[in-house]
Structure 1
């Protein structure tokens, strides 16, 4: 949340807290809970961050996950060619101490794609003040689903650049594409 040096320092704190919490071998829900409390106890700036934590069992394809206020990732299902959202709700980290986090499980098949992105991607605006939108992300994934994760990510980034043209970047633009290949 925010921009400039204070936001950069808070993001460094956030990354450090989440990395430390990962080493504790906690469930996604408990990891977010502990990270939230640690962030609240180590900052007074009123800043917050969102996070999505998931553990993928590579053998079974089961993904257990929890969200701390992050946009729901998009799940492309190779068998049907459709996309769903991993819609689970949770409060952003650093907002309030009594926040609770739910967990959910989904199955990732060979050829499936997961897209994690920040609002800088979905809310990138063009000259007509139209947002890039989640539907354009979905359309790009569906049209390139047989390609590599890197190719899909590059295509989404290129589409955002084409959409915004001379408008420039107004927010962070983070995109992670994961594809199960085995």
Structure 2
């Protein structure tokens, strides 16, 4: 019988977790996708890592006797580079989670465990590990920095959603095209427990690898803050305070966060210094969403972010974008500007999310022609479906 494709270690002092994982993951275990080994604290985990020798992924609780998860992460970072670690937290403790990320954790899972999210997180972590191993195997063949950045681009793109919620009530589409091999823009989409959906778009102040790293940290903190609190203003306040801690590089990120309720058709949002999105009406006309006065995240702690609510009627869209769209330059040194963005939807009234997103990118590329792209271009569109 062939060996399982991946070996996963679960480290947790709760005795009920082992049989629960074996039961909920029995299909993957039987098909030999994964094999699981279990430890009850960090010391047992390190002993198993030494004896097993081929563990690919460690899923570890933070609070455990003898050796906690944060100490285990530190030990793994010193001893093992060819595996990935994911933290399991029962408390939604963002400071501990942030410490874990700084010590090398790839992602985190909140207790009680949602096994759909559990599977997605495992898949993403192992995909990242596979790409890392591929990069290691081919590093002797890499002769330029650009080759390495292309690998980084693949990893970065893997965290951006490519499949979006689509219901009878609404649809979403988004895309990001970095100016360099890696970029500082990102978008985020998450279904919340009460059928609402969270949407975010962001732009880091720098470019290249530093911006990409800051972007990944921001995304991680945003994901955690949304699990604790689905109020946009409070989420931005929490992420801002955490980003400001130990921010020696003085980087910052503009971030727009909205929560859409498909039952009410309301879009509740807070804006951290980002470009104001468009409210596009069913007839193709559009307005800029009212500003809320928020500053970019990471600049100063303790800032409050005001919240605003708009109604999206059936057939309306919310168009989120970064300044790579409106500040794109053509060969005559002209900026694309807001008026051309409004024109996109005047020319395609009633466009759904995918059509609208494609129309924005086509319009920008037609405008810039052969002029090199100097900034990341990102667009996310939420479209409320017309009433049949």
Distance of 1:74 and 1:23 partners within structure 2: 27
After superposition, residues 53-68 of structure 1 pair within 5 angstroms as 53-68=257-272
Q: Which runs of 5+ in 2 are unaligned?
A: 1-204
Deviations 1:123-182 (A, max 9, x none): 001111111111111111122122321111111101111111111110010011221015
Partner of 2:354: 150
2:303 match: secondary structure: coil
More displaced 10-residue stretch of structure 1: 93-102 or 115-124 = 93-102
Deviations 1:9-51 (A, max 9, x none): 1111011011111101241111100100010114221101111
1:23 match: secondary structure: helix
Bigger RCO (CA 8 Å, 6+ sep): 1
Partner of 2:220: 16
1:50 match: secondary structure: strand
Distance of 1:177 and 1:20 partners within structure 2: 23
Instruction: Quote how far apart the aligned CAs of 1:82 are.
Output: 2.5
> Which residue of 122, 128, 133 maps to 2:332?
128
After superposition, residues 167-178 of structure 1 pair within 5 angstroms as 167-178=371-382
Instruction: Quote how far apart the aligned CAs of 1:54 are.
Output: 1.0
Distance of 1:5 and 1:55 partners within structure 2: 30
Structure 1 residues 81 and 4, CA, compared in 2 at 3 Å: closer, same or farther? closer
Kindly report the root-mean-square deviation, in angstroms, between the aligned alpha carbons of the 2 structures: 1.3
- 2:278 pairs with 1:84: no
Whether the 8 Å CA contact 1:145–1:152 is kept in 2: the answer is no
Whether the 8 Å CA contact 2:255–2:296 is kept in 1: the answer is yes
2:364 match: secondary structure: helix
Whether the 8 Å CA contact 2:284–2:348 is kept in 1: the answer is no
Instruction: Quote how far apart the aligned CAs of 1:81 are.
Output: 4.2
Distance of 1:148 and 1:26 partners within structure 2: 26
Distance of 1:97 and 1:36 partners within structure 2: 6
Structure 1 residues 26 and 113, CA, compared in 2 at 3 Å: closer, same or farther? closer
After superposition, residues 32-111 of structure 1 pair within 5 angstroms as 32-78=236-282, 81-88=284-291, 89-111=293-315
Partner of 2:321: 117
User: Larger Rg: 1 or 2?
Assistant: 2
Runs of 4+ in structure 1 over 3 Å off: none
Q: Which runs of 5+ in 1 are unaligned?
A: none
Deviations 1:63-94 (A, max 9, x none): 1110011100000122x643111122210000
Whether the 8 Å CA contact 2:285–2:345 is kept in 1: the answer is no
TM-score by length of 1: 0.94
Distance of 2:266 and 2:352 partners within structure 1: 21
Whether the 8 Å CA contact 2:327–2:336 is kept in 1: the answer is yes
Q: How many residues align?
A: 181
More displaced 10-residue stretch of structure 1: 151-160 or 139-148 = 139-148
